[in-house]
């Protein structure tokens, strides 16, 4: 039964993606559609990214939870690479960065894989955040000390710590009878809602009445996009409630939270990009935006979605394995 | 005939190493008013890291890579068996003895002899590794090389961010992303003075920083 639900969810999304791809092909074929080609191109690139994301995610579900943790771990590593590349550090930070990339980041995902919630929930905000300034101080270079710590720690928090909460959904005990399929569905539901929220906020921002929220940071994020986008996602979350362990009203509420957090994430990363004077994190990889541009909303939404789920499970008196 | 299998092994090893270097340095390459070509060329670049030669070499298409030899310091690349194997067998590097430069066999003469009518070179005219802030003054080797072989196409190359991946004096690399920019070919103009030419060549590398 539950296997069929998973298959239905993944299959349904693949059908939707196929429909989107066909629609874009058709729209591109006729030039008189009156649609802005730039918007169409953006949408085409997003759909392409979703194809990759969905197929990779679906593939790891079939391999198992460890594969999912590894997949997100590699993603975090790549996102951190993009973040630190565009963040100026000093040569004396080299050793600290080595520790960040090869010790802290992998350790976070190993702990998630081991379901060690008591440790992975504090590894970065407690231990790493104290070790990093210590290591930098040891190098004896005090120039812009606080600034350098802040940059490295912000990168670690957003790209590694926050993102690790997405595969951590795989480690939760969702019901008295534990089945892996339910976790895979929950993670897929979460990723789906984040992506839909991105797309719908963008789509709703195209309507003629436009009130840009923060013109200095993001010229295409409008109040209309945020309000109608979040409302649509809330509705869709309610429609997809059967894929989650929540009742329909909670699935809708969680989707609203995901949508708002996703908005905050993408705005935050845009502010950093603006400050660095680049259009996207992938400017070093020519032709397409970086991975961080695709997952910024995911990073911000993951820890909140995880903890809200945890509160709900606690209220249901479902004990967790740790 | 063991040569055929040895060659296969070497080209496989080259492929593997190039991929590894690309992955490690996250290198993306751009050609600005320039195209990859197997004609005889001298790629000259700014130098900030031990990885520079390998990363630049890896950024070239496989067929160009086959005929391109990095010029490297003998003292560094013959230390230890792995480095020596990589330098002599895989990169086919042209090792220059920095400690013992003979009058009748200057590095430029060695280069000209070794490339013949087939190979291209990768050189770092600053002579040593800089801190990544500013491209240093060029040594005269590039000038003498062009004077003796004016037919060689000189391709300026700018390596960005390599100094943060593996800076001077560090042993362990940090896997950040780098960018390699190839510029349009240039030649030594007839009657161009050494100073003017070296200044122009350095300017060509520095200019690529802006793209």
pLDDT digits (tens, 9 = 90+) for B132-176: 778 989 999 999 999 999 999 999 999 988 889 988 888 888 989
Nearest beta carbon to residue A285 from set B28, B161, B167: B28
Q: Does the pLDDT of residue B77 top 70, yes or no?
A: yes
Q: Are B26 and A81 in contact (CB under 8 A)?
A: yes
Q: Do B26 and A85 touch (CB under 8 A)?
A: yes
Nearest CA in chain B to A98: B174
Stretches where chain A sits below pLDDT 50 are 1, 284-287
Handedness of CA A250, A269, A164, A200 (dihedral sign): positive
CA angle (B176 as vertex; A195, B42 as ends), nearest 5:
125
How distant is the Cα of A58 from the closest Cα of chain B, in angstroms? 25
Which structure tokens are listed for A273?
A: 């990009």
Query: Which residues 6+ apart lie within 8 Å of B92 measured at CB?
Result: B69
Say yes or no: B134 contacts chain A, CB-CB below 8 A.
Answer: no
- Output A190 or B88, whichever has higher pLDDT: A190
Across the interface, whether the CB atoms of A94 and B174 are under 8 A apart is answered yes
| Token couple for A151 | 């940059």
Is the minimum CB–CB distance between A92 and chain B shorter than 8 Å? no
Q: Cα-flanking dihedrals φ and ψ of residue A89, to 5°? A: -120, 170
Which of B24, B25, B175, B182 would best serve as a mutation to test chain A binding (most A beta carbons within 10 A)?
B175
B177 min Cα distance to partner chain A (Å): 6
Closest CB to B167 among A77, A82, A94: A94
B131 contacts A94? CB cut-off 8 A? no
Running DSSP on this structure, what letter comes out for residue B137? P
The pLDDT of residue B14 is above 90: no
**Measured between CB atoms, does A151 come within 8 Å of chain B?**
no
Residue of A nearest to B161 (CA): A85
Residues of A in contact with B164 (CB under 8 A): 85, 89, 91, 94
CA distance B199 to chain A (A): 28
* Count of beta carbons in the 10 Å neighbourhood of residue B74: 17
Q: Which H helix or E strand runs over B51?
A: none
Q: Residue B20: pLDDT above 80?
A: yes
Which of A23, A8, A14 has the alpha carbon at shortest distance from A240?
A: A8
Instruction: Look at A89 and B164 and tell me if their CB atoms are within 8 Å.
Output: yes
Beta-carbon contacts of residue B16 (< 8 Å; ≥ 6 apart): none
Residue A101 sits at the chain B interface (C-beta within 8 Å): yes
Asked if A97's CB is within 8 angstroms of B179's CB, the reply is no
pLDDT tens-digit readout, A166-218: 999 999 998 877 677 888 889 989 999 999 999 899 888 888 777 899 988 88
Q: Do A91 and B172 touch (CB under 8 A)?
A: no
* Residue B174 with chain A: CB contacts under 8 Å: 84, 94, 97-98, 101
The DSSP bridge partners found for residue B43 are: B122, B155
- Whether residue B6 is predicted with pLDDT greater than 70 in this model: the reply is no
Chain A residue numbers with beta carbons less than 8 Å from the beta carbon of B163 are 91
Tally of residues, chain B: 211
Q: A226 pairs with which residues across the strands?
A: none
Taking only the tens place, the pLDDT of each residue in B178-207 is: 889 999 999 999 889 999 999 999 999 999
Is residue B164 within 8 angstroms of chain A, CB to CB? Answer: yes
In this predicted structure, the answer to whether residue B11 has a pLDDT above a threshold of 60 is yes
Residue B52: pLDDT over 70? yes
> Which among A80, A92, A97 is the top mutation candidate for probing chain B, defined by the most B β-carbons within 10 Å of its own β-carbon?
A97
The contacts of residue B99 (CB under 8 Å, 6+ apart) are: B75
Q: Distance from A78 to chain B by nearest Cα, in Å?
A: 9
- In tens, the pLDDT along A127-165 reads 999 999 999 999 999 999 999 999 999 999 999 999 999
> What's residue A280's pLDDT?
62
Residue B174 has its nearest CB partner, among A97, A284, A286, at A97
Q: Determine the pLDDT at residue A2.
A: 64
Size of interface A-B (CB pairs under 8 A): 41
d(CA B77, CA A111): 40
pTM (two decimals): 0.87
Whether B51 and B22 have beta carbons less than 8 Å apart is answered as no
CA dihedral A207, A212, A215, A217 (to 10 degrees): -80
Q: Which of A98, A285, A286 lies at the smallest CB-CB distance from B174?
A: A98
Q: Is A277 left (phi over 0), alpha (psi -120 to 50) or beta?
A: left
State residue B1's pLDDT score: 43
Q: How much is the average pLDDT of B86-104?
A: 79
Q: State how beta strands B179-182 and B153-160 pair.
A: antiparallel
| Angle at A59 (CA atoms; ends A57, A64), nearest 5 degrees | 90
Would you call B161 an interface residue with chain A, using a CB distance cutoff of 8 Å? Answer: yes
Kindly indicate whether the ipTM for this predicted assembly is greater than 0.85, answering yes or no. no
Q: Which residues on neighbouring strands pair with residue B95, listed in sequence order? A: B72
């Amino acid at each position: 039964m539950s296997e069929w639900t998973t298959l239905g969810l993944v299959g349904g999304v693949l059908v939707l993606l196929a429909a989107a791809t066909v629609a874009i092909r058709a729209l591109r074929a006729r030039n008189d559609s009156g649609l802005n080609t730039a918007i169409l191109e953006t949408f085409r690139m997003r759909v392409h990214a979703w194809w990759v994301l969905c197929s990779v995610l679906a593939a790891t579900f079939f391999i198992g939870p460890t594969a999912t943790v590894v997949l997100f771990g590699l993603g975090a590593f790549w996102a951190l690479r993009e973040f630190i590349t565009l963040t100026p550090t000093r040569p004396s930070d080299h050793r600290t960065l080595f520790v960040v990339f090869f010790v802290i980041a992998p350790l976070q995902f190993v702990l998630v894989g081991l379901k060690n919630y008591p440790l992975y929930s504090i590894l970065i905000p407690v231990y790493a955040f104290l070790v990093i300034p210590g290591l930098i101080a040891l190098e004896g270079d005090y120039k812009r000390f606080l600034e350098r710590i802040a940059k490295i720690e912000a990168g670690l928090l957003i790209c590694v710590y926050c993102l690790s909460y997405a595969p951590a959904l795989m480690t939760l005990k969702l019901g008295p009878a534990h089945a892996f399929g339910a976790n895979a569905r929950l993670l897929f539901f979460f990723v789906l809602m984040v992506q839909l929220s991105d797309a719908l906020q963008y789509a709703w921002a195209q309507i003629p009445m436009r009130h840009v929220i923060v013109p200095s940071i993001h010229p295409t994020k409008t109040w209309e996009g945020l309000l109608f986008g979040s409302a649509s996602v809330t509705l869709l979350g309610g429609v997809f409630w059967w894929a989650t362990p929540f009742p329909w009203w909670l699935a809708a509420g969680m989707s609203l939270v995901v949508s708002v957090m996703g908005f905050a994430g993408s705005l935050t990363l845009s502010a950093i990009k603006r400050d660095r004077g680049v259009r996207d994190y992938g400017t070093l990889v020519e032709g397409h935006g970086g991975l961080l541009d695709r997952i910024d909303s995911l990073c911000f939404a993951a820890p909140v979605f995880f903890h809200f789920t945890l509160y709900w499970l606690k209220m249901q008196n479902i004990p967790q394995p740790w | 005939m063991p040569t055929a299998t040895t060659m296969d092994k070497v080209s496989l090893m080259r492929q593997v190493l190039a991929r590894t270097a690309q992955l490690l340095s996250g290198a993306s390459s751009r050609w600005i008013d320039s195209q990859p070509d197997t004609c005889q060329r001298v790629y000259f670049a700014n130098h900030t890291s031990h990885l520079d030669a390998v990363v630049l070499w890896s950024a070239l298409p496989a067929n160009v890579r086959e005929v391109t030899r990095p010029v490297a310091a003998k003292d560094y690349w013959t230390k230890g068996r792995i480095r020596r194997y990589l330098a002599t067998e895989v990169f086919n590097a042209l090792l220059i003895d920095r400690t013992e430069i003979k009058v009748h066999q200057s590095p430029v003469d060695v280069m000209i002899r070794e490339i013949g009518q087939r190979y291209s070179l990768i050189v770092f005219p600053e002579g040593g590794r800089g801190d990544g802030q500013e491209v240093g003054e060029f040594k005269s080797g590039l000038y003498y090389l062009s004077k003796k072989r004016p037919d060689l196409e000189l391709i300026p190359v700018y390596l960005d961010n390599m100094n943060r991946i593996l800076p001077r004096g560090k042993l362990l690399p940090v896997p950040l992303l780098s960018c390699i920019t190839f510029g349009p070919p240039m030649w030594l103009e007839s009657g161009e003075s050494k100073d003017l030419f070296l200044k122009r060549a350095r300017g060509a590398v520095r200019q690529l920083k802006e793209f």
